[in-house]
Amino acid sequence: MNEAAAKNVLFIRAVEGADADGKFLSETDRCYAGRAAAELVRWQAAEYGERPSSEAFIAKRAELLTGKLAERFPKALGAFESMRWRPWVGVLLPVLAFIIGAAAEHIADRHRVNILAFPLLALLIWNLVVYVLLLASAVRTLAVRSGRQPGWLHRQLSGLRGTVGLRSVVAWRGAGPLASTLARFLLDWTQSSAALTIARAARVLHLSAALLALGAITGLYVRGLVFEYRAGWDSTFLDANAVHGILAFFLQPAAQLVGLPFPTVDEIAALRWSAGTGENAARWIHLYAITTMLVVVVPRVTLAAIAGWRERRAIAHFSLPFDEPYFRRVLSAWRDAPARVRVVPYAYTPAEAASDGVQRLAARLFGDNVQLQSARPVAFGDEDALAPSERGESSALDLVVALFNLASTPETENHGAFLEGLKAQAQGPLIVLVDESSYRRRLGAQAGTDARLAERRRAWTGLVGTRGLDALFADLEASDLSVVERELEVQLSRLSPGG
């Protein structure tokens, strides 16, 4: 998926996440976009003899829905389009850097060159410092990547999400009802595009640094055609030996490269302004120019080329977290076969209302194209004899749910053994769901209900935690399961391969 497609996808995700009542995109809009996208992607794949991909389906669906929003909210879509990268920025900044570099010599004395305070010397020192910082950053990045953690700059860009979002809400008030959605999109885009932003900024900055140095060299040579530069130095604290050592460190490699003799200590001493008028600055300009080309221009152009390659790769292969629940729901319209969710109760037969609650949770995760398979409840004490369906078919399932009753007291030798067996046999994500509905009915409105619920939850959390799992508590007979739906999405995202 390329950058433009990923941008559309994240925008539509932000819209659908804030559009529970369908005021922006109706259910008809979404169903039509899903069907049309599936047909178009499969037709295009057949035309080129390729295999249709789920990423292409998600991108095409987002493109169709973005077009629908553009018809209804043109101002909002204008604001959305304004967030794109302007390629001219990557041209303008290096050009300005070249002009600044060429004009920088005008700030100093246009007839005298202080070989200790030469602008190019400051440029050399600054770039050497930058290279040290880049090397340190690269080492740190390798270290954090070994621990699968984002780099420092990536974290800083992600940390801007709150600030950018608050400013965006104010800036996009003219975008109408989609203003808050645009702000949410920008938060997600800032984080998701951090790698691309870093590569793009690196390319522009490295190229600008190279052209700044090239401009300074060009300005010196052009002005040297019509003015005579005299080279010399003066210092309150440095003597000729110290100045010779400093200049030799920076300039002697260039002198050896082109076969020019480097000035001796006595020759450097004779260049003090207090001792005379210096000398013609041609050889010093040559040495500084060659050194600047070797130390600044060539490395910076190389770094810009590497950053440009990374930028193009990020643009063409933009990574999105397709294992998130949102994308699983969207892909339900793409899948030929429904998502399969198996529920395995232990010592508990859920009521019809509780079963409906599990169905709603499954639909929240995988969309309407989901098949809920309720296994025969495993009797208390029979945990070592799971049914064959729980053994042989687990690898083909999208989710396995171990369902318990909060009214039961968790027992390590029974409930714990059942969990261990199911966890060992399931080849997919395993969720532990504890139904509170019957226990709540039993307690009723008597005093201390909340305390007893909390105590029982702690017991189940402790037992499930010893098996490396997290317990999810829900009143499955309640009409509103939005809170547990969000918790389930977070938990399943962590269990997914990219989570």
The pLDDT of residue 291: 93
- Pull the structure tokens for residue 113: 């060159």
The pLDDT of residue 433: 93
Query: Is residue 336 very low, low, confident or very high in pLDDT (cuts 50, 70, 90)?
Result: low
The pLDDT of residue 129: 94
Quote the mean pLDDT of the chain: 84
CA separation for the pair 330, 2 (Å, rounded)? 19
Let me know: does 289 contact 220? Beta carbons within 8 Å. Answer: yes
For residue 304, pLDDT over 90 is answered with: yes
Contacts for 170 with CB less than 8 Å, ≥ 6 apart: none
The pLDDT of residue 329: 81
Q: What is the arithmetic mean of pLDDT over 331-339?
A: 75
Q: 163-205, pLDDT tens digit by residue?
A: 444 444 444 455 567 888 888 888 889 888 888 999 999 999 9
Question: Count H helices, E strands: the chain?
Answer: 21, 8
Q: What is the arithmetic mean of pLDDT over 478-487?
A: 82
- Amino acid identity of 498? G
Let me know: does 210 contact 95? Beta carbons within 8 Å. Answer: no
Q: Pairing state of beta strands 279-280 and 230-232?
A: antiparallel
The pLDDT of residue 175: 54
Q: DSSP characters for 146-210? A: HTT---HHHHHHHHTHHHHHHHHHHHTGGGGGGHHHHHHHHHHHHHHTHHHHHHHHHHHHHHHHH
- pTM (two decimals): 0.72
pLDDT: is 113 or 248 the higher one? 248
Q: DSSP characters for 43-79? A: HHHHHTT----HHHHHHHHHHHHHHHHHHH-HHHHHH
Q: What is the arithmetic mean of pLDDT over 111-139?
A: 87
Q: 232-273, pLDDT tens digit by residue?
A: 998 888 899 999 999 999 999 999 998 888 999 999 999 998
Q: 401-412, pLDDT tens digit by residue?
A: 999 999 999 999
CA separation for the pair 220, 292 (Å, rounded)? 13
Please measure the distance between the N-terminal and C-terminal CA atoms of the chain and give it in whole angstroms.
19
Say if residue 242 is exposed, middle or buried (CB neighbours under 10 Å; 0-12, 13-18, 19+). middle
Question: What are the structural domain ranges in the chain?
Answer: 3-81, 89-316, 325-495
Q: 355-388, pLDDT tens digit by residue?
A: 998 888 888 777 777 888 888 888 888 877 665 4
The 10 Å Cβ neighbour count of residue 113 is: 27
For residue 161, pLDDT over 60 is answered with: no
For residue 391, pLDDT over 50 is answered with: no
Contacts for 399 with CB less than 8 Å, ≥ 6 apart: 339, 340, 341, 342, 362, 365, 366, 428, 429, 431, 492
Report the top-level CATH class of 325-495.
alpha beta
The pLDDT of residue 62: 94
If we measure between CA atoms, which residue out of 71, 83, 57 comes closest to residue 4? 83
- Amino acid identity of 413? E
Query: Is residue 1 very low, low, confident or very high in pLDDT (cuts 50, 70, 90)?
Result: confident
Q: How far is CA 67 from CA 11, 13, 48, 54, in A?
A: 12, 14, 25, 20
The pLDDT of residue 390: 47
